């Protein structure tokens, strides 16, 4: 098994009463049991990038702002990603799209797994995100775990979840997804997309 590569588990919910960070931490912990790689949780709340503030097109130009350069360095040092995202009105949260759109080549060519959650597992937002990742020339693995939340817990909006209890039934699929990510990392050469993308 190859060591020394880094997988970022990026959580996309920044709501005050979110459960996303706890879910991302649980996902990372399961990942550590499958991959002999460094796995780090990245909370987009710690990366408050202003909405679409870069004057240039990220695929073609350099960055004007220090926060974008810092985000670029963070993403560049990773070899693969796990996007942990809730479904909001059939889509994924705006902070994730903004974080993706601030960069381009830093994502390009790298494998990713999408983990969604919602009352039916968030498959609609997962499919939208998959399409966007392909637009960034990433390599999303086929396994896309979708965690089903109970309607009662959504209505309660407590900001609290015990993933070990609430999400246990998804553990197997999640481990399968991490194994697929591992295979993608072992098999694929990192080939960034350097041509004009569109």
Ligand X SMILES: Cc1cc2nc3c(=O)[nH]c(=O)nc-3n(C[C@H](O)[C@H](O)[C@H](O)COP(=O)(O)O)c2cc1C
The residues binding ligand X (CB under 6 A) are 13, 15, 18-20, 86-90, 118-120, 122, 149, 154
CA-CA distance, 94 to 152, in Å (whole number)?
25
Beta carbon nearer to ligand X, 47 or 104: 47
User: Residue 3 and residue 37: Cα distance in Å, rounded?
Assistant: 5
Q: Which residues contact 43 (CB under 8 A, 6 or more apart)?
A: 11, 21, 24
Q: Which value, in Å, is the radius of gyration of the alpha carbons in the chain?
A: 16
Shortest CB 10 distance to ligand X, Å: 13
Q: How many CB atoms lie within 10 A of CB 148?
A: 14
What's the closest the beta carbon of residue 113 comes to ligand X, in angstroms?
17
Q: Decide whether 1 or 16 has the Cβ nearer to ligand X.
A: 16
Question: Nearest to ligand X by Cβ — which residue?
Answer: 118
Q: Give the nearer residue to ligand X in terms of CB position, either 143 or 153.
A: 153
CB of 16 to ligand X, least distance (A): 9
Q: Shortest Cβ distance from residue 104 to ligand X (Å)?
A: 27
Of residues 43 and 101, the one with the C-beta less far from ligand X: 43
CA-CA distance, 190 to 192, in Å (whole number)? 6
DSSP notation for 77-117: T-SEEEEEEE-BTTB--HHHHHHHHT-STTTTT-EEEEEEE
Compare residues 154 and 183 and give the one whose CB is closer to ligand X.
154
68, 141, 131: which is closest to 110 by C-alpha? 141
To ligand X, the closest distance from the beta carbon of 122 in angstroms equals 6
Choose among 128, 126, 124, 80: nearest CA to 106: 80
85/108 with CB nearer ligand X: 85
Give dist(CA 59, CA 195) in Å, integer.
9
Q: Smallest distance from the beta carbon of 155 to ligand X, in angstroms?
A: 9
């Amino acid at each position: 098994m190859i060591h020394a590569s880094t997988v970022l588990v990026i959580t996309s919910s920044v709501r005050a009463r979110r459960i996303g960070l706890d879910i991302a931490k649980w996902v990372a912990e399961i990942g550590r049991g499958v991959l002999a790689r460094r796995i780090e949780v990245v909370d987009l709340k710690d990366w408050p990038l202003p909405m679409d503030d870069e004057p240039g097109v990220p695929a073609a130009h350099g960055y004007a702002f220090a926060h974008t350069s810092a985000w670029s360095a963070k993403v560049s040092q990773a070899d693969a990603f796990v996007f942990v995202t809730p479904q909001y009105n059939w889509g994924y949260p705006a902070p994730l799209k903004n974080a993706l759109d601030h960069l381009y080549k830093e994502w390009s060519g790298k494998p990713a797994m999408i983990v969604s959650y919602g009352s039916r597992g968030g498959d609609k937002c997962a499919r939208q995100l998959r399409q966007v990742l392909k637009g960034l020339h990433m390599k999303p693995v086929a396994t896309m775990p979708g965690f089903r939340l109970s309607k009662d817990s959504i209505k309660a909006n407590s900001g609290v979840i015990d993933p070990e209890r609430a999400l246990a039934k998804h553990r197997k699929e999640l481990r399968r997804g991490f194994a697929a990510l591992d295979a993608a990392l072992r098999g694929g050469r990192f080939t960034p997309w350097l041509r004009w993308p569109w």
